Every structure is written in structure tokens, then in C-alpha cells.
């Protein structure tokens, strides 16, 4: 038996997120089906990040165990021939049998994209959040700086969370303009449920002048979801990728 | 009666192009329907560029005549409430009654986007052409320079053309990297049928080393569609916008 790691990219528009749901198609279900067909075994993948409905990914991670004789690095090609166009495997390789993508030290990076203009742009509608309210990127950057470091992010966590602790380490939050879009790029050692989307919603409140950048310090101290901004819509969010901080996960 | 000009943006993925077709939805038909509903008149728009099936636009132009009392600059808002999400009006205003978007001097700009990587990226699949073959951007730029100026572009024109002359003025062709994509940006006074897509297909032949940059000079001289590269797929092409060179079309 061997364990294989997949790097998975997807357009989340037409899926109910990563995780198996009683109703509706999910990335996890499509991967399980294609892998089971390919190997003749009953395969169940374990995902590193269970992204929400409508969220996109350029580099989510999944692992599975198999007796198949297909070499680990060939699964990407074999799977891409079976997967729908909106899911692609961008790399695959064998990892050690004790590698678990959620129980090992890792850093992940997300991007939240905002298209800010007088009118929406159809070709951007699926992958960025549209607002016609002008946003001040400098103020958003100032506010973002308060989010970096180890903090209790309880205010930036959906009340539905089951997390034991709401303390998390955020390594970087950058806000910048890229072409016609504003990008919020966040890296950290793990995120609470909806954390990046609430961070984006809060930074947008600052950007439109409804909140001072310093207010973010107070929001963190309050430990109260009500004081932070709204949860920004899913379509603007993309999981960029993982960096594994243990030896096993990296090449 | 007044004539109103619309700036139209669309995601061409789900349309059979601009122009009315016996079968299948087109941008022109959707605009005619929404405008007729809005005004209670039977409205027929005239488009500046009849883009092909699957081609996108950030700034195509349409004009129509109406007796409506809606002010010219308010049509954008009224229409956007009726249009599907993949078509947006990014501006509207009254123009003089003799303004015709195809019979006036204008410069238009197109972008052709190529995503060049070992594996396709789902979030890019609708708006760029994917190739895993590495492309040399410097060689493509050298080749592009030969296309600038007034030339007979017969080799860069679909044989189905009905154009009286195949001489066209190309003002600029730039090839550059933008994030993860290669962009071919072309501006000119008018283009032949499929001209930008054949230019893109030819520049890609150069980029992958199958053709010397100087070969483009010969292709132009040959005046033979067979000698140029293939027509690059529609999804990579976006009509960026128009600049009207007569006073009427501009603000």
C-alpha cells in the first residue's frame, strides 16, 4: 500500500464546497469517484482544506491510500483525463504512510479579490467580489497590519465553529492593487471557519471609510463576532496553496 | 427621437457570439429583448464589433434609436437590472443621430491571453487559452513587431471573409507576461475576420520555436492563409475597447 498526495485546483462555482454533502456535488465526491474508477478500489481522499461552497482553489491538497501499481507521480495525468474541466490535478506524488495533510505543520495562503469599479465586469464576476464603493487600499493595508501575529481571532470566526481554541498565527496580510482588482493576500498556520472572509469583510469596511484602521485592534480584543465586519462572499476567495513545514510534505 | 450609445461588457462563454443567429442565444438578441421591454418599442441595436462565439468583451459598443424619455446616461442602470449577470452595460449616453459605430473612424484594442503551465488552471479556463508547451515571449515580441503598420493581412484572414480589401492598419502589437499569463495586446483601425486569433496562433508558433520571428514578414508577403499559424481558440480573446477618432464618439 502507498499514500499519494494530490495538488488539486478547482473552480468552486458549480460545487457545494469540498466536503461530502447529503445533497449536491462536491469536490471530494468527484475525486473519490474518479479515483475509485481509476484504481478499481474504493478510494476516500482526505483533504487539507474543506473549502466552502463557491470558494476556488489553485492548490488544495488531498491524500489517499491505494494498492494501485500506478506510480504516485502519474496519478495527475490519469486523473485529469477523467475529471471535469473545472477540477485539475496539478501534481501528484507518493508520501509516507503517516503523512496527514491536516495533522502536520503547514502554512497556507489565501487570496481575496475585489473588483471595484462603477459597473460590474462579467468576465470577473465568478472570481472576485464586485463593489462600486471606492476602497482606500492604504487604509486597508494599515488595518491589515494589526491582524499579523498570534492573536485570538474569535471575532473573526463564524459562530458555528467547533474549534477548541480560537488562537491562530497569521504570518502575513498584504493588500495591494493588481490590474483592475484589489487583492488581500493572507498567509497563516491555520484559519478558523470563515476567518479569511470575515477579515476581508472587515478590511473592506475600513477601505470604504466606515471604520478606522485602529479599530481592528479593538475588534481582536473584543473577542465578539458582532464587532467585526460582514463575511465577504465566497466567490472572491481562492486557496492559493500549502507549504508544509515538516520535511515529509515538501519536495 | 434620439440615438443612444452603450458600452457593453460580456462573458462570451454561453453565447453564440454577438450577431443574431437562427439558433442559439446571442448578445445582440438579449440586448434587443431587454431594450424593447424597457422602452415598449421594437429596438434593434447596431454593434460596433460582431464578436465570434466564445469571445469576451470589456467594451464593445452598440447604438440604438428610441423615442423613450429615459435620459441617455440612465440606460446603463435601467438595462443592468434586466440583463443576465454575464452581460453588463458599463456606460450609456446620447450621441448624434448620424453616429454609426462601424462607419466612423475608430481604434479598437483586443487582448489574447495564454496560460502556459504544466497543468491547466480551472479558474483560468474560460478566459485564456491553455498550453503546456513553453513559449518564448521575447521571440513572440520580435515577431509581433513585423505586424505593426499598414499591411495586406490576407494571410491573417479567414478564407470566409467578405471584405473588399484585406489591407489594414495595425497600430501596436505588444506581447508581455502578466502574472501567470502571456498577453498579446493588439490595437488597430479595424480587423479582418479572425485576424487577431490568427495573429495569436502565428505568434504562438514562433514562441514555441516552430517558426522564426522573421518568417512573419514572409507570411504577410505571401498573402496566403495557409502559410500563417492556426486560428487560436475563441476563449482567449477579449475585445478591450474602442477609441473613436472623430469627435462624436468621444466624451
Which of B:163-222 have CB within 8 Å of A? 178-179
Residue B122: DSSP 8-state: G
CA distance B123 to A128: 11
Kindly tell me if the per-residue pLDDT of A250 is higher than 70.
Answer: no
The residues near B75 (Cβ < 8 Å, ≥ 6 apart) are: B4, B6, B38, B89, B92
For every residue of A39-106, which 3-state class applies, written as one string? HCCCCCCEECCCCCCCCEEEEEEEEEEECCCCCHHHHHHHHHCCCCCCEEEEEEEEECCCCCCCCCCE
- Average model confidence (pLDDT) across chain B: 95
Model pLDDT, residue B251: 47
Model pLDDT, residue B94: 97
Q: How confident is the model at residue A251 (pLDDT cuts 50, 70, 90)?
A: very low
Of B119, B120, B238, the CB nearest to A123: B238
Beta bridge partners of B242: B108
CA distance B81 to B94: 20
Contact (CB<8Å) B121/A90: yes
Q: For chains A and B, what is the number of CB pairs under 8 angstroms?
A: 69
CA distance B3 to chain A (A): 22
Model pLDDT, residue B248: 56
The residues near A190 (Cβ < 8 Å, ≥ 6 apart) are: A106, A108, A168, A169
Give the CA count within 13 Å in the CB-facing half-sphere of A227. 14
By the CB < 8 Å criterion, does A113 face chain B? no
Catalytic residue among A11, A52, A222, A251: A52
CA distance B17 to chain A (A): 15
Q: Please give the grid coordinates belonging to residue A110.
A: 489565501
Of B11, B118, B125, the CB nearest to A122: B11
Contact (CB<8Å) A122/B87: yes
By the CB < 8 Å criterion, does A75 face chain B? no
* CB-CB neighbors (< 8 A) of A58 in chain B: 121, 123
By the CB < 8 Å criterion, does A30 face chain B? no
Q: Please give the grid coordinates belonging to residue A194.
A: 470563515
Which among B49, B62, B65, B60 has a CA at the least distance from the CA of B97? B65
- Angle (CA) B202-B189-B62 rounded to 5° is 110
By the CB < 8 Å criterion, does A41 face chain B? no
Angle, in degrees to the nearest 10, between helices B215-222 and B195-207: 150
The residues near A122 (Cβ < 8 Å, ≥ 6 apart) are: B9, B10, B11, B56, B85, B86, B87, B88
Q: Which residue of B has its CA nearest to A59?
A: B121
Model pLDDT, residue B11: 98
Contact (CB<8Å) B119/A85: no
Q: How confident is the model at residue A248 (pLDDT cuts 50, 70, 90)?
A: low
Higher pLDDT, A75 or B159: A75
Model pLDDT, residue B247: 58
Q: In degrees rounded to 5, what are phi and psi of residue A80?
A: -60, -25
Q: How confident is the model at residue A159 (pLDDT cuts 50, 70, 90)?
A: confident
Burial class (CB in 10 A: 0-12, 13-18, 19+), A208: middle
Contact (CB<8Å) B119/A9: yes
Tens digit of each residue's pLDDT (9 = 90 or more) over A170-226: 999 999 999 889 999 999 998 999 999 999 999 999 999 999 999 999 999 999 999
Of A90, A119, A121, the CB nearest to B119: A90
Model pLDDT, residue B163: 79
Q: Which of A127-141, A152-166, B190-204 shows the lowest mean pLDDT across its residues?
A: A152-166
* CB-CB neighbors (< 8 A) of A123 in chain B: 9, 11, 56, 58, 126-127, 238
The enclosing H or E element of A202 equals helix A195-207
Kindly tell me if the per-residue pLDDT of B43 is higher than 70.
Answer: yes
Average pLDDT on A219-242 reads: 97
Model pLDDT, residue A245: 84
pTM of the model: 0.92
Give the CA count within 13 Å in the CB-facing half-sphere of A127. 22
Tens digit of each residue's pLDDT (9 = 90 or more) over B11-28: 999 999 999 988 899 999
CA distance B137 to B147: 16
Tens digit of each residue's pLDDT (9 = 90 or more) over B210-239: 999 999 999 999 999 999 999 999 999 999
Q: What share of chain B is helix, strand, coil (3-state, %, to 5)?
A: 25, 30, 45
Give one word for A54, left, alpha or beta, with left for phi > 0 and alpha for psi -120 to 50: left
Kindly tell me if the per-residue pLDDT of B87 is higher than 50.
Answer: yes
Which residues of B have a catalytic role annotated? Answer: 52
Contact (CB<8Å) A121/B85: no
By the CB < 8 Å criterion, does A56 face chain B? yes
Alpha helices in B172-232 (DSSP H): 195-207, 215-222
By the CB < 8 Å criterion, does A125 face chain B? yes
By the CB < 8 Å criterion, does B67 face chain A? no
Average pLDDT on A148-168 reads: 90
Kindly tell me if the per-residue pLDDT of A103 is higher than 60.
Answer: yes
Kindly tell me if the per-residue pLDDT of A247 is higher than 70.
Answer: no
Contact (CB<8Å) B127/A123: yes
Amino acid at each position: 500500500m502507498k499514500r499519494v498526495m494530490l495538488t488539486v485546483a478547482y473552480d468552486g462555482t458549480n460545487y457545494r464546497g469540498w466536503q461530502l454533502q447529503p445533497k449536491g456535488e462536491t469536490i471530494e465526491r468527484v475525486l473519490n469517484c474518479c479515483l475509485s474508477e481509476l484504481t478499481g478500489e474504493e478510494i476516500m481522499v482526505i483533504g487539507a482544506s474543506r473549502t466552502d461552497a463557491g470558494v476556488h482553489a489553485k492548490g488544495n491538497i488531498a491524500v489517499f491510500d491505494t494498492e494501485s501499481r500506478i506510480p504516485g507521480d502519474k496519478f495527475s495525468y490519469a486523473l485529469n483525463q477523467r475529471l471535469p474541466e473545472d477540477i485539475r490535478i496539478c501534481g501528484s506524488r507518493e508520501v509516507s504512510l503517516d503523512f496527514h495533510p491536516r495533522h502536520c505543520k503547514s502554512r497556507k495562503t489565501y487570496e481575496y479579490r475585489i473588483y471595484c469599479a462603477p459597473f460590474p465586469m462579467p468576465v470577473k464576476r465568478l472570481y472576485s467580489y464586485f463593489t462600486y464603493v471606492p476602497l482606500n487600499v492604504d487604509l486597508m493595508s494599515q488595518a491589515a497590519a494589526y491582524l499579523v501575529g498570534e492573536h485570538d481571532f474569535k471575532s473573526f470566526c463564524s459562530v458555528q465553529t467547533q474549534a477548541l481554541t480560537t488562537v491562530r498565527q497569521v504570518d502575513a496580510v498584504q493588500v495591494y492593487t493588481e490590474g483592475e482588482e484589489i487583492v488581500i493576500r493572507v498567509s497563516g498556520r491555520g484559519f478558523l471557519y470563515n476567518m479569511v472572509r470575515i477579515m476581508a469583510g472587515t478590511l473592506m469596511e475600513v477601505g470604504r471609510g466606515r471604520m478606522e484602521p485602529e479599530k481592528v485592534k479593538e475588534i481582536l480584543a473584543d473577542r465578539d463576532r458582532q464587532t467585526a465586519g460582514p463575511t465577504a462572499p465566497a466567490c472572491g476567495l481562492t486557496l492559493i496553496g500549502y507549504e508544509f513545514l515538516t520535511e515529509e510534505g515538501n519536495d
